[in-house]
Amino acid sequence: MATFVVAHGAWSAGWAWAKMHSPMQARGHRLITPTLTGLGERAHLARPDIDLDAHIADIVAVLDVEDVSGINLIGPSYGGIVATGAADRARERVARLIYLDAFAPNDGDSLLSLLPEASRAQRQAATSGPMAGWGIPPGPMPPDTPAQDRAWCEPRRVPQPVKTFEQKLTLRRGPLTVPRHYIYCSRHPPDDRFRRFYERAQREGWGVSEIDASHNPHITCPALLADLLDHICR
């Protein structure tokens, strides 16, 4: 049995990984899917000062309280930045860092700095509503997301505190030495924002895989993703 811990993506929460628990358990693995502060069922805790460090601390606290070691830490999308920070702070607990179609940052990067310039303007805080000035409205889901999955996901997606995108990652313990694996979702245009991280993984000798899915395989093809995660950890 392997233990997997997820640092979920932006606007999302632990609920988004609900389809993964059964197939991961069937393959003999434990899956832990905490929710980051201010999102999902913890949206009532949202406030302007929540930043990247707060989300990193969320994941480190789960590892400590669950007292797990030798884990596979998964970071999908924005969660790749959170997972990188958590792997830095809890290196003794992390056996492998798995980026799932994710931002794979270096020390000093923020999510906004890793976005193409044309996309940065789309990630601005709302100008009206209860989170005006500090909450970024949810981005669009992939166009091939089935209608029933949209109906499940969209009411549960909530604005993201802007400082989580703005704050730069600080690696506190020097260059990251944890083994890494990058999973690239192949249903993207050739110039998509995640391709360059996949190519970096290839250049730097990380483990690499492709999955025939768009950006949220944990929602659209959970059994396929579970098979791939099982293969990676074995």
Please give the Cα distance from 25 to 8 (Å, whole number): 19
Q: Is residue 120 part of a domain?
A: no
Q: Is residue 99 part of a domain?
A: yes
Per-residue pLDDT tens for 154-200?
999 999 999 999 999 999 999 999 999 999 999 987 668 899 999 99
Look up the CATH number of the domain holding residue 62.
Answer: 3.40.50.1820
**Residue 190, pLDDT score:** 65
Catalytic, out of 12, 22, 69, 77? 77
Chain-wide mean pLDDT for the chain?
96
- Segment 102-118 shows an average pLDDT of 94
- How is residue 36 written in tokens? 């980051």
- Segment 139-158 shows an average pLDDT of 96
Please give the Cα distance from 86 to 171 (Å, whole number): 9
**Between β-strands 94-100 and 71-76, what pairing exists: parallel, antiparallel or unpaired?**
parallel
Active-site residue flag, 77: yes
Q: Is residue 90 part of a domain?
A: yes
Q: How many domains, in total, are found in the chain?
A: 1
Per-residue pLDDT tens for 197-210?
999 999 999 999 99
**Residue 191, pLDDT score:** 63
Question: Which residues form the domain of 215?
Answer: 3-115+125-233
- Segment 114-142 shows an average pLDDT of 88
Q: Is residue 15 part of a domain?
A: yes
Residues in the chain: 234
